[in-house]
Amino acid sequence: MSLQGPIFVVADSPVPELLSSLTGAGAFPIIETTHTELAARLAEIEPAAIVLAEPPAADLDPVMGMPNDWAGDRPYVPILATTDGTSPERLGLLICADDRPGRLTARLRAALRVRTLHATVLRRLALIEEAGRTPAMPGGDPLEDATVLVAGRGGSYPALVVAVGERAGLVGALSLDAAGHLLRSRDIDGLVIGDGFNRRIVMGFVDELAADPRFRDLPIVVTDGVAGGIDPEKLPNLIYVAGEPKTAIDHLMPLLRLRAFTGRLRRMMASLDAKGSLDPDTGLHSSDAFLRDLARTMSDAEKYGTALSLARFSLASLTDWRASHDAARIVARLVRGVDFGCRDDDGTILVAFTETDQRAAHVVARRIASVLKHTTLLAGHDRRQLDPTVTIAAFKSHDTPRTLLARVSCPPGAVATG
């Protein structure tokens, strides 16, 4: 992917190595400016990206608040800020001053992929608005959705867990094998690898992630001073940070926010592809779409004599918004292509298993419940597993959507009465 500009490079002194790296990567046009001139240039030209090639001055803070609004209707503008360790995270995606320009270029390319995705979603939303159908775009700070996996078993692990847990959702792992399983079984927006592991094993684990395109843009922080020759194009958001846990998390947070925002955009694209029938918050059907599909599936089951089963997954704490939505997103990844589900207003999750009798539905539901049990935790200081309760009912010839839903609802949820 070429680096389509205009790209602002902000520096008060010459940065020939950075400019050469950007030019070699196909960046065009590049607009050089100083910190004091930046505000005036922003008023003249809307950039595709901003690179602060030197640690920014304190009086630049208000200017950096201008380009982005995460709930806005303009394409995301990435801001990459070279830091000496004191720059506030809100200034942008932080790049250590001693990082090679190739790392900055790779991270810029990754951020511009998000800008392209955002622009595509906005264009499609505009077309749908003209037709009078507009699915709701998730709003608010994307960090509210973000989940960080912290792997470690050394002395810094408790401090890392606290530093992450204060600012984002948290999942812990005491081994890299467990971390790999969690990365592949649920939506993880960031990874922190703490101390306590053999360095050779850590680098082998990072190499495996670099070889898997699913993790290409995953923010990864390695805190134990492990150095390696990972190609920055394969893992552009890999960060080596030695020092206090807070320093590592300060570098992670802007990348984490961007990754969570990307997840929102992808779910929104899936919702648009499904003509609004999918909920962009969870990836499951919306309540109305679920009811329509359930009624249609019941009609087909009665007409052709096929089986149909309905399952309701109730979590230990239905009032915990974060746990309920995490569980819904996990279920969206686990259900078969022929099945469909939704998150009810009371926090429970409904799944319809098409062409599946009650015995087979029990087997599939148990597998889903097992994954939920081992990958979903209560938020806050109570980190107990959410052991789901599953209720299953088989479709009978005299059933209506209301009666079938009532048999798995106690009491019936909002979907059942819809």
3-state secondary structure the chain: CCCEEEEEEECCCCCHHHHHHHHHCCCEEEEEECCCCHHHHHHHCCCCEEEECCCCCHHHHHHHCCCCCCCCCCCCCCEEEEECCCCCHHHCEEEECCCCHHHHHHHHHHHHHHHHHHHHHHHHHHHHHHCCCCCCCCCCCHHHCCEEEEECCCCCHHHHHHHHHCCCEEEEECCHHHHHHHHHHCCCCEEEECCCCCHHHHHHHHHHHHHCHHHCCCCEEECCCCCCCCCCCCCCCEEECCCCHHHHHHHHHHHHHHHHHHHHHHHHHHHHHCCCCECCCCCCECHHHHHHHHHHHHHHHHHHCCCEEEEEEECCCCCCHHHHHHHHHHHHHHCCCCCEEEECCCCCEEEEEECCCHHHHHHHHHHHHHHHHHHCECCCCCCCECCCEEEEEECCCCCCHHHHHHHHCCCCCHHHHC
Per-residue pLDDT tens over the stretch 115-164? 999 999 999 888 876 655 667 777 778 888 889 999 988 888 888 988 89
Is residue 354's pLDDT more than 90?
A: yes
Architecture category of domain 142-271 in CATH: 3-Layer(aba) Sandwich (3.40)
pLDDT at 294: 95
Token pair recorded at residue 189:
């927006």
For the chain, how long is the longest CA-to-CA vector? 79
Average pLDDT of the residues in 308-328: 79
What's the pLDDT at 360?
93
Judged by average pLDDT, the poorest of 23-37, 196-210, 365-379 is: 365-379
Q: Which of 374 and 35 is assigned the larger pLDDT? A: 35
Fold matches, 4-130 and 142-271: yes
**Lookup result for tokens 């810029």:** 108
The pLDDT of residue 91 is 64
Bridge pairing between strands 349-354 and 308-314: antiparallel
Residue 380 has a pLDDT of: 45
Inform me whether the pLDDT recorded for 329 exceeds 70.
Answer: yes
Q: Determine contact, residues 257/142, Cβ cutoff 8 Å.
A: yes
Confidence of residue 413 (pLDDT cuts 50, 70, 90): very low
Confidence bin at 375 (pLDDT 50/70/90): low
- Average pLDDT (340-368) is 91
- CA-based angle 185:188:192, to the nearest 5? 120
Per-residue pLDDT at 415 exceeds 70: no
Name the most confidently modeled range: 280-284, 306-310, 325-329, 369-373.
Answer: 306-310
Residue 193 is predicted with a pLDDT of: 92
Strand partners, 345: none
Distance (Å, rounded) from C-alpha 254 to C-alpha 60? 18
In the block, residue with structure tokens 């990435």: 78
The residue among 309, 322, 329 whose CA lies nearest residue 390 is 309
Pairwise pLDDT comparison (375 vs 163), residue with the higher score: 163
- Band (pLDDT 50/70/90 cuts) for residue 205 is very high
Give the orientation angle of helix 401-408 with respect to helix 287-304, to 10 degrees: 110
Instruction: Using alpha carbons, select from 328, 320, 379 the residue that is nearest to residue 350.
Output: 328
Higher per-residue confidence, 145 vs 308: 308
- Per the CATH hierarchy, to which homologous superfamily does domain 277-417 belong? Reverse transcriptase/Diguanylate cyclase domain (3.30.70.270)
**Range of lowest pLDDT (8-22, 145-159, 383-397):** 383-397
Query: What is the reported pLDDT for 346?
Result: 82
Domain definitions of the chain by residue range: 4-130, 142-271, 277-417
The yes-or-no verdict on residue 75 having pLDDT over 50 is yes
Share above pLDDT 90 across residues of the chain, in percent, rounded to a whole number: 36
Percent of the chain surpassing pLDDT 70: 84
Amino acid at 333: R
d(CA 152, CA 156): 8
| pLDDT recorded at residue 389 | 86
When pLDDT is averaged across residues 4-22 and rounded to a whole number, the result is: 89
Q: 215-266 pLDDT, tens per residue?
A: 999 999 998 766 567 788 899 999 887 777 888 888 899 999 999 999 999 9
Average pLDDT, the chain: 83
Superfamily of 4-130 according to CATH: Response regulator (3.40.50.2300)
In this prediction, residue 414 carries a pLDDT of 43
101 versus 59: the higher-pLDDT residue is 101
